[in-house]
Chain A
């Protein structure tokens, strides 16, 4: 179910060169508000590059990016975050030595801004942070330092940080990376249960997760979009099968 007509995130003619290599070679992408889009493709297809451009950590060589009705091409990461875009990193970017609660508190405190001399860590802040942690299944682990958590728990915390920003668009970079089947199932459920007002863009390798969560799938190959459609459409697409999966999947 998507909110008809409203585009949450779009990329047009995105191009990114590294020396002589065309990591992205004219990518068009349009994600509706509330949609859940998965981006898949073999290694080297340009998924990470696309991701880094959408989150403002990399500038495109050519092309534009829009967030809602706003041109955000070349806008930096922190400004994009303030405009409602949050990111879950593939390799955890946590505050390892701080307790999980502090991690989330920092995320929550971003909106009002850091130039406040009022005391941090008050009761209401604790409550808010604990609520976010409970939402991702980290109840009871609030006081544990981030580096004392298990890998699965750290991924959960990584998601919590993104959610705490109360974003409109959430970009997830291989959310199930390095997880056991049980952990994968847990986090997939978490993501699937996220509110439908949140627009999701997921880069993933695990096809089960993709087909479970995605409304639409975009397939990248050698910097270009080779397929873009509903899961069953993409699944049956001949080119995708040849290029990506090497064989034809059962329909």
Chain B
């Protein structure tokens, strides 16, 4: 493999990892706070992409879509949590099952409204070109995605570590019942957490759409990858989402290039191995009684 190719694939891997981080951060947040594996996360991702598509068709503005679509998803999350999930408080397995049902509904309705053919979202103007890296051209948009993810990570990290709301979130991840006993409105906290998680999934959907397109089945792919990322990196922590994404992204990319037949199975094998050897992942925090 030539050096140019290596650099290209490395960048592909990192930009894929960047997308995975945005996607997995939401899933990790929800799991860390509420002990719920949101199996509708892929559906949220998919919906974010399709809503963005609709908005771009309406307004012609990618950036409007990139702003509004995640907000739509957050609003949806703000409805789903109190309406459905809250009724199953404490029944973690049932909550997971509920998200499966939600996912079935969302995905089918997407197909109903937008059809089941492959659709594309155009690159935002100004970011549709290529830049010379080494000896060959590399899509600017992918570099943008990397930059955006870094920025997002910085913002999330700042909020998580340096603000009051971040402290509440950290405490909630650590011990939600205690937080409730201390007088914090955990109902509202959980609803907001779920909304933020959904919004992040939607954001990932928007960002990924120009590069990956929109088609049936994208929810399953997204869900599987985000599960792998948070399992490998660490359940329930932002560090974990980042570490996992940075590992899975390049591993998947290089795997597909080097041994395409087994790349998929390889990634799953990594996940299963981590679950068996170190159930809390690289940076996760395992809690008693789960």
Direct chain A–B contact by Cβ atoms under 8 Å: no
Q: Chain B residues in contact with chain A, CB under 8 A? A: none
Q: Chain A residues in contact with chain B, CB under 8 A? A: none
